[in-house]
Amino acid sequence: MLSLALALAAAPAPAKPPRTPPEIVAAAPASAWRAIPADDLLVIDYEGGGRTIVQLAPGFAPVHVANIRRLANSGYWTGSAIYRVQDNYVAQWGTNDAKKTLPPGIVAKPPAEYVRSPRGLVIRPLGFADAYAARVGFAGGWPVARYKDGSVSLTHCYGMVGVGRDLSPDTGMGGELYAVIGQAPRQLDRNIALVGRVIEGIEQMSALPRGTEALGFYKEGSVAKKIAQVRLASALPGSERPAFEYLTETSPAFAAYLDRRANRDDDFYRVKAGGVDLCNAPIPVRRVPAR
């Protein structure tokens, strides 16, 4: 009996089950994660240091994304800048419509890739009502909305990247891009082409001083931050190539994560919310060692 008591006393205490969203994500098995292709990673390096990495969404805006890849491979954005930072809205970068020769193969007037067919998409429902769409959820690692006519779009959540454009019928060719750095402006859904999301380095944009001119533009002749170069991760040497994975929405780990986003029950919370907004349940992304 004494030896049994000693053995029990020496046994380690059982591990506590994960209770918070970060704990659930950290405990997710390798099988729950999916690699993001290097050709879908846009790497923005700034003069003086700093980097932002954007994951592209070719499944939702294929023509615009093809343009962006060609622009990156041609060095189009070398010497460009972030020239607009509007509080609680967006940070925008590019050449600010400066006349610059476009590389071969660019579609100067892409189609309006604001929505797509649901064909081929398996949408994992959020499970809660949405103010802007008949149904919202997740598909292929992206936040999506489905509308009464059956069409599907990406949604303007924090960090999402869209294409700057002029008034309709202009759709923007992809040379001027913006990232959402404030409250989700979902009214832009279905009105602008969303081409991806910032997955690392959003602070390089969101922490900049706000522009003082209308709509957050900087005064003529000044910019928020200069861009040294923009490249696809696939164009970088293997030893320098960043690699990322996202938590797939079809995994049990994602289901547990989503449940906890809606129903926190750890020691800090006294009352469960009982619901969650689509943009308040960001799809977890993690950096991994380059393969």
Which tens digits make up the pLDDT trace of 188-214?
999 999 999 999 999 999 999 999 999
Burial (0-12, 13-18, 19+ Cβ within 10 Å), 59: middle
In single-letter form, the type of residue at position 223 comes to: V
Lowest mean pLDDT among 175-184, 227-236, 264-273: 264-273
Report in angstroms the alpha-carbon separations of 109 from 73, 139, 152, 170, 176: 19, 28, 22, 7, 13
CA dist., res. 251 & res. 271, Å (int): 27
- Mean of pLDDT over the chain: 94
pLDDT at 14: 62
- The percentage of residues in the chain with a pLDDT greater than 90, rounded to a whole number, is 87
Model confidence at 15, pLDDT cuts 50, 70, 90, reads: low
pTM for the structure as a whole: 0.93
Give the residue extent of every domain in the chain. Answer: 39-112+162-240
Report in angstroms the alpha-carbon separations of 173 from 15, 106, 259, 290: 52, 8, 39, 31
pLDDT tens digits, 80-136: 999 999 999 999 999 997 788 999 999 999 999 999 999 999 999 999 999 999 999
SS3 39: helix
How confident is the model over 233-260, as a mean pLDDT? 97
Q: Which superfamily is assigned to 39-112+162-240 in CATH?
A: Cyclophilin-like (2.40.100.10)
Angle at 75 between CA 71 and CA 77, to 5 degrees: 75
Lowest mean pLDDT among 132-141, 150-159, 165-174, 266-275: 266-275
How confident is the model over 253-264, as a mean pLDDT? 96
Model confidence at 239, pLDDT cuts 50, 70, 90, reads: very high
**Closest residue by Cα to residue 45 from 250, 291, 226:** 226
pLDDT at 59: 98
Q: How many residues does the chain have?
A: 291
